[in-house]
Amino acid sequence: MVAETSRNSLKIVVVGHVDHGKSTIVGRLIHATGALPEAKFAAIQAMSAKRGMPFEWAFLMDALQAERDQGITIDTTQIHFKTDARDYVLIDAPGHKEFLKNMVTGAASADAAILVVDGHDGIQEQTRRHAYLLHILGIRRVVALVNKMDLVDYAERRFVEVRQELLAYLGAIGLAAADVAVVPVSGRNGDLIAAPSPKMGWYTGPTLLAALDAIPQPVAELDLPLRLPIQDVYKLDARRIIAGRIEAGRLHVGDTLLFSPSSKTARVASIESWNTSGAEITAGAGKSIGITLDEQIFVERGQVASHLETAPILSNVFRARIFWLGHQPLRSGARYRLKFMTNDVEARVEKIERVIDTADLSSKPTEAVERNAVAEIVLRARAVLALDEFTTSPRTGRFVLVEDYTIVGGGIISMEGYPDQRVRGSVKSTNLTPVEDRVLLADRWRFNGHRSGIMWFTGYSGSGKSTMAMELERILFSKGFQVAVLDGDNIRHGLNADLGFSPEDRVQNIRRVGEVAALMARSGTIVITAFISPYLADRERVRAAHRELFHEIHIATPLEVCEARDVKGLYRKARAGEIADFTGVSAPYEPPPSPELVIDGSKETIADSLARLVAYVERVFAIDEQTLEPPYSI
């Protein structure tokens, strides 16, 4: 017999639609394996009798008073049983839709799943949703139970129908048929749980227990590239110990480790331990270790150690498939805390690619991901991260999103369409490129997820500059852009309060506005200026000084239209001679010969104008990683 301390253990999650009989299956399973203490059995008997029910297996898992009264499992519970083959930990997951977060909490740690389907009612919404989540959670092995066979007279025909539908769906979401067993059972009567059932003589496959025992034992990820996320650094006695758990691969004393994303390297001097026999010289996946290095390099929590040749990807942007648990929908442009391995950074939802309907696997574009939905998104972090794709390193290729202190979603990483930003060739060098200690504009752009610059609106008074500037600011802000408006009236009350409307003062006014706008733009903001700025030479001076930031937008609403609107009554006053030097009436306006964009308020609605402005901003201020590579400077 296998020594008890080295017995294998398998974690199983039980999922499925509400009322399809999950808890009853669990009760049957642990009774059949002798794991139910007699005291507990007697207690449940007493509870059932008190409520005037026959023996209610579900009471076992629904141990809390509140749950018994509501008749649904609120949270996951875990229970242990064993067969001759190995030990099992059973996680009973709730089926009620509202409790998805608990199902995920339970299922995420499982090695395999039991998917319970009511043989009478067939596959339902949550059957599909749970199956789909198992797939995202990385659970490949499934024993699907067609339960309540007693309600369909143990009919083979019905079993075959449900099995076909199940296998079709599981196949469509990428589960291999070889990894799925389908067993007809009756939880209520105990058929085919642990022993063959005479009522289903037509069935020749394994019982539930036999199907579980047939699941191969998962192996630690020893053969994958080494990943040691740094959890902490302890200074003990004279030792400086780097602590963490090896998530994949193995390391040996003497190995050269690469720390990402800092790209520093050092060799493992020792593996530290307490109360073990003799010094360890090697450690593998799953082990929490402490190591010392041969060099005093700067290492901190959040970095990940690997070998040189098999380093993680460096990127500040990645694609992800997520499940969303937040009470508020996930929105494009919103920022969340991104936690993966031991790292914790802020990230912005750059794009929601699609929301996936788990019922029919169709997808549709959307602006928001609702609670309990599954979606594909693009996330952009403020800094370059060391990460892995889920398909190559499952434990380090997944993450959670946090909002207001609570985990609101989980996801798996794909780099499809995004390049590894690690500069090849520099990795193996011990004399690495020194990190720039000043903040580059490109870094600010990465941080914000967009470029910055000046959207210089020019046009007559009343052409719609201020209205459109304010509206554009609101829209861009809601999309997650760093944006600000410099408006003529506001600036003239403060910064330029000393200036009038003489040609000299106008020149000075525009010069100052240009300098302020450029300062703001260089700090990463998209600045929208809304000034008449009538002189071509003034605008060209700003453009020449800040060529790479300057975008001239001609708000070309004709003078007659502006004058007819006369929102502020200024044209009337100017015509009456009460205002001197009024552009279009008593002072010239020089239209731009080749503006970046022309908006004519007399030819299109404000909404159409704004749509064109937003499209322009999204196009020209988008980040192109190629052009952000150092030594980019402006």
Element (H, E) at 322: strand 313-324
Would you tell me how many other CB atoms lie within 10 Å of the CB of residue 390? 21
Among the residue ranges 209-217, 237-245, 441-449, 554-562, the one whose residues contact another protein (CB under 8 A): 237-245
Least distance in angstroms from the C-beta of 140 to another protein: 16
Residue 287 interacts with another protein (CB under 8 A)?
yes
Q: What are the residues facing 364 on neighbouring strands?
A: 355
Among the residue ranges 271-279, 489-497, 539-547, 610-618, the one whose residues contact another protein (CB under 8 A): 271-279
Element (H, E) at 518: helix 503-522
Distances (CA, A) of 466 to 13, 143, 530, 592: 58, 63, 6, 19
Least distance in angstroms from the C-beta of 128 to another protein: 21
Least distance in angstroms from the C-beta of 161 to another protein: 34
Residue 335 interacts with another protein (CB under 8 A)?
no
Terminal C-alpha separation, the chain:
72
Question: DSSP E strands: which ranges in 357-393?
Answer: 363-364, 368-369, 374-387
Residue 260 appears among annotated catalytic residues: no
| Contacting residue, 33, 102, 186, 316, with another protein by CB under 8 A | 102
CB 31 within 8 A of CB 188: no
Residues 336-375 contacting another protein, CB under 8 A: 339-340
Closest of 220, 207, 216, 230 to residue 178, by C-alpha: 216
Among the residue ranges 69-77, 165-173, 385-393, 422-430, the one whose residues contact another protein (CB under 8 A): 69-77
Least distance in angstroms from the C-beta of 44 to another protein: 11
CB 168 within 8 A of CB 142: no
Residue 325 interacts with another protein (CB under 8 A)?
yes
Residue 66 interacts with another protein (CB under 8 A)?
yes
Residue 8 interacts with another protein (CB under 8 A)?
yes
Write the binding mask 387 to 426 for another protein: x where contact by CB under 8 A, - elsewhere. Answer: -----------xxx-x--xxx--x----------------
Residues 26-55 contacting another protein, CB under 8 A: 36-40, 47
CB 415 within 8 A of CB 315: yes
Q: What are the residues facing 486 on neighbouring strands?
A: 529
Q: Report angle CA 355, 360, 361 to the nearest 5 degrees.
A: 45
Pick 6 or 430: Cβ nearer another protein: 6
Integer Cα distance of 100 and 136 in angstroms: 14
Least distance in angstroms from the C-beta of 612 to another protein: 42
Integer Cα distance of 135 and 487 in angstroms: 52
Element (H, E) at 626: helix 625-628
Least distance in angstroms from the C-beta of 589 to another protein: 55
List the catalytic residue out of 452, 461, 533, 609: 533
Tell me, rounded to whole angstroms, the distance of Cα 4 from its chain centroid: 41
Integer Cα distance of 108 and 137 in angstroms: 6
Least distance in angstroms from the C-beta of 319 to another protein: 18
Residues 132-191 contacting another protein, CB under 8 A: none
Counting residues that bind another protein (by CB under 8 A) gives 62
Least distance in angstroms from the C-beta of 69 to another protein: 10
| Contacting residue, 54, 178, 204, 236, with another protein by CB under 8 A | 236
Residue type, 410: G
Element (H, E) at 12: strand 9-16
Where would I find the H helices in 360-502? 441-448, 465-478, 488-493
Residue 199 interacts with another protein (CB under 8 A)?
no
Pick 406 or 433: Cβ nearer another protein: 406
CB 137 within 8 A of CB 177: no
Residue 194 interacts with another protein (CB under 8 A)?
no
Residues marked as catalytic: 533
Interacting residues toward another protein by CB under 8 A: 4-9, 36-40, 47, 63-66, 74-80, 87, 89, 101-102, 104-105, 107-109, 220, 231-232, 234, 236, 239, 241, 243, 245, 272-275, 284, 286-288, 290, 301, 325, 339-340, 398-400, 402, 405-407, 410
